[in-house]
Structure 1
C-alpha cells in the first residue's frame, strides 16, 4: 500500500540535475573541502534535512540518454534519439535525433493534470524545428538546447550561440550558472504566487567543461573553439564551479521558503551521469562513458518536509527513471496507457517504508558495454570481456568473481540477455560522440 503525503496538497516539484558531477564531489558524499571551504554547503544541508541515497544510479553514463529516461520515466533504449551517445550539437534539422513531440513526458503529463511547468537549463534532447522543450510539455524554457556551452559566450562546441528564452534566441551577458539560478528564482516566485502546483526542472550545465568559474570571463574567447578544454582546468576551478551551482540552489530553496511553499515542495538533486576529468568518484572506478560504478552511480538527494523526515540515508537501488515515476506518483498522475512506465516509484521509501529489490540494466554502444545490478551482484561486459563483482564487498570492482562463480555469471548473463531482448536493438547508424579520447580520461 502506498504511503501518501501528510499534506493533502499536490506537491510542487523542483528537479535539479547537475552535469558530469562525480559521486563523491559533494561533502555529504565524502567529498573533501576545497581551499575556500565546503564545496556544497547547501546540498549538504538539503541531505541533512531530507534523505540521501547511497546506491542511486543514472540511466546512462552519458548525458542525452539519461535525459530521455528522465523525461519519459522509461528506458531510453525505447527511443531512437537516445541511441546517440550523446546527441551531437550539429544535429539541427534531424527528424529522428530527439525527443518526439508526441512522446508523453513528466512535463506533459503534469501539465495536463494542472501543473505549471518550466525547464531552466540544459535540454540536449534534439534541436528545433522538430524538437524542443516547448514541444514536450514545458510552458517555459530558458537555457541551451545542445550539450556543453561556454559559460560566458554561451556558444556550443561548433561555435554556434546557444541560449534561448522559449523559441527565441537571446543574448544575455553573464556566467551561465548564475543566469540559470536567476531565472529559476524568478520562476519559483511567479509559479508560487498562483494556486496551481508546479514543476521546475533546473538542469545546470555545471560542472561540465569548459572549466570556468565566475571569475574566468577572460577565458571565454580562448576556449570558444575548443570547449573540450583538454589543456585547461584543475580541481580548484572544478570545485568552485560546483560551489557556484550550490549557491544558486541555495537561492532557489530560499525563494521557495519566502513564498511559503517549501514544506509542500519535493526537491530532488542528482547528476546525469558519473564524473569526468576533475571529479572525485572515490572509492568507485571509471567515469563518464563507463558502465563501471564511477560512470553510473550518482548522488541522489531529496527534501520534502511534508513527507520526508530529516537525516535519513537509504541504500535503496534506483535509476533516474524511478525518480520520474516517483514525482508522477506523488502528484497522483498516471502514465499514458500506451506508454507504460519502466520507472518504479520510490514514494513509499521516501515516506519511511521498506526498501525493495530493484534489478537495473544498462547497455552502451561504446565498447559494447552491458551491465546488470541485481542485489549485491553486478554483471559487466566491456570489449567482450565479462566480469562479476560483489558490489557490497567490492564497490571498487577490483575482484572479478566470474572465474570462481560460473553459475552465477551464467544466470546474470541470461537475466541481462532476456531484458535486452525486450528492448529495440541498437541501430546500426547510432554514433558515439565522446568529444575526447578515452585515453585522456584519468584511470582510477
Structure 2
C-alpha cells in the first residue's frame, strides 16, 4: 500500500513537471544559412556533403519538402522573415543591392524580435543583418537586445571586411581573429550559456554568412585565398575562385558549428523546450545542388526560391516527419508568435500563416494556399496556387505543375488556358496591394504620405496597381 501511494505521488509530480514544461514559453533558436541550395544538405539528398548536425534537427522534428524563400535574393527575404509580411510592402524589399541607397527596415515597424520582447523574450542577433546601415537602421532599433555580426551582403571570412571593416558588437565596430563561421558559432554558444539561468525565455537568431562567397575554407588555404583577394583588390565574388570541394568544406564547417550550438542547448538542459529552426534565405548559387529543380539564386525558377526548412521542438512536435505544406519565410513570424503566446500588431497584419497547427498535429492535411513573387521590376513574376505555378521571365510566360514537373520543363499554358488565366489574374490582383515595381529611375511613384499610409495598413494606394 505504501509503495502504491509513493508511486501515485511520483506520478502526480511527474505530471505536474510535464505540464509545467508545456506551460513554459519555449526558447527559440533560429538558424539561417546564406545562399544554401535545396539539396545542399545530406538530409535533402546531397551525394557528398555530410551535415549530420543539421540533419539531427530533422530527425527530432519536421523537414519541409515544399518550403520557399520569400525572394530569390537575400535582403528581400530577410525583410519578409523579420516582418511576417511580403517584402514588397517596404522599399527595402523591392530591389538589391542596398549599397549607396538610403533604405532599410524602419525602426518603428514591428518585427519578430520586437513582438517576442513584448511577451518577455530576451533577443539576440548573431551574424548577418543586411537590413540597412548604421546608425539609421540597426538591429538594436528593431527589437534585438544584442547584436554581434555584420551589416552588409557579404563579408570576407578572415579579414571581416567588405570594402572596409564590418564586424560589430551591439553598435561598436570590433576586431576579432578567426574564421567567421566559427566566430558566429562560438558567440551563439556563449549567448546560450549566458541565458541558461535567465528566468525569461530567449530568441537567438543565428544568421551565418556561409556558404555565401567568398570561397574561403577554414584553415591555411582559406587564409591564403583571403590574402589573395585583399592583395589584388579583387571583389569578394571573385568569379575565378571556388570549387565543389571548397563549397563542401564551407557547408560542413557551418554544420559543425550548428552541432556545437545544439550541444550547448543539451549541456544546459535547454534542448527539450527549445524550438530550433534551420533554413536558407534563398536558393543556391553556382556550386549549390538544387536538384530536382532548375534555376539558382536571383531566379524565380524553383531552384532560386525552394529552400531547405527544418524545425524541431521536442516537447511539442513529434520527430522524424516530413511535411508537404507549402510554406514561405514570412510564415515563421505568426508561427513563432503563436508558440510563444504573443500577438501580431493589428496595424501590420502578417501575410504569412501560422504553421504550428500542422506541426503539432501529425495527421494534419496541408493547407492549399496562394503565394506570389516579383523580382527585378517586371522582369520576373511567379505565383504558386495548389500544384500549379505561373511564371514570367522577361517576355516569356509559363504554366507548370511543379509537383509532377519539378524541373519546370512542360509548359502547360496552351493546354490549360483557363488555369493559366486564373493564376495570372490572381497575381495581378495580389500585385495591386504591393508597392509598385521599381521603374528605371529607381523611384516608387509614391508621395511620402502615400508611402507611409501604405506601409502602415497594407492597403493599396492609387498608384499601387502599376503592373508594367
TM-score (norm 2): 0.87
Per the alignment, residue 168 of structure 2 pairs with 164
C-alpha spacing 1:270/1:5, structure 2 compared with 1 (3 Å): farther
Counterpart Cα distance in 2 of 1:427 and 1:394: 32
Per the alignment, residue 59 of structure 1 pairs with 70
Q: Which has the higher contact order (CA 8 A, sep 6+)?
A: 1
Counterpart Cα distance in 2 of 1:366 and 1:212: 33
C-alpha contact 2:89 2:434 (8 A) present in aligned 1: yes
Per the alignment, residue 423 of structure 1 pairs with 434
Per the alignment, residue 23 of structure 2 pairs with 8
Per the alignment, residue 41 of structure 2 pairs with 26
Per the alignment, residue 112 of structure 2 pairs with 106
Counterpart Cα distance in 2 of 1:5 and 1:300: 29
Per the alignment, residue 121 of structure 1 pairs with 127
Deviation of residue 426 (structure 1)?
2.0
Per the alignment, residue 439 of structure 1 pairs with none
Per the alignment, residue 272 of structure 1 pairs with 281
Deviation of residue 260 (structure 1)?
0.8
1:375-414 equivalent positions in 2, closer than 5 A? 375-414=386-425
Counterpart Cα distance in 2 of 1:244 and 1:70: 25
Deviation of residue 9 (structure 1)?
1.0
2:312 is equivalent to residue 303 of structure 1: yes
Per the alignment, residue 207 of structure 1 pairs with 211
1:325-340 equivalent positions in 2, closer than 5 A? 325-340=334-349
Counterpart Cα distance in 2 of 1:220 and 1:288: 24
Counterpart Cα distance in 2 of 1:302 and 1:358: 21
Deviation of residue 257 (structure 1)?
0.9
1:351 to 349, 360, 368: 360
For residue 130 of structure 1, give the secondary structure of its aligned residue in structure 2: coil
2:247 is equivalent to residue 241 of structure 1: no
1:63-212 equivalent positions in 2, closer than 5 A? 63-88=74-99, 90-91=100-101, 94=102, 97-156=103-162, 159-212=163-216
1:247-262 equivalent positions in 2, closer than 5 A? 247-262=256-271
Q: Over alpha carbons, which structure has the higher Rg?
A: 2
Counterpart Cα distance in 1 of 2:282 and 2:359: 22
Deviations 1:350-406 (A, max 9, x none): 102332112111011256111000111000001021100011110000011012111
Deviations 1:131-172 (A, max 9, x none): 01011000000011111110000111xx21110001000010
Counterpart Cα distance in 2 of 1:60 and 1:310: 29
Counterpart Cα distance in 1 of 2:20 and 2:357: 10
Deviations 1:96-144 (A, max 9, x none): x100100000011111221000000000000012101011000000011
C-alpha contact 1:193 1:259 (8 A) present in aligned 2: no
Deviations 1:55-114 (A, max 9, x none): 0000000000000001100110111111122422x44xx2xx100100000011111221
For residue 7 of structure 1, give the secondary structure of its aligned residue in structure 2: helix
C-alpha spacing 1:238/1:5, structure 2 compared with 1 (3 Å): farther
1:286 to 275, 280, 295: 295
For residue 294 of structure 1, give the secondary structure of its aligned residue in structure 2: helix
Give the number of equivalent residue pairs: 417
Deviation of residue 5 (structure 1)?
11
Per the alignment, residue 41 of structure 1 pairs with 52
C-alpha contact 1:348 1:354 (8 A) present in aligned 2: no
Per the alignment, residue 342 of structure 1 pairs with 351
Deviation of residue 430 (structure 1)?
3.9
C-alpha contact 2:295 2:302 (8 A) present in aligned 1: yes
Counterpart Cα distance in 2 of 1:70 and 1:278: 25
Counterpart Cα distance in 2 of 1:383 and 1:57: 22
List gaps (5 residues or longer) in structure 2.
1-18, 444-468
Deviation of residue 48 (structure 1)?
1.1
C-alpha contact 1:379 1:389 (8 A) present in aligned 2: yes
Greater helix proportion: 2
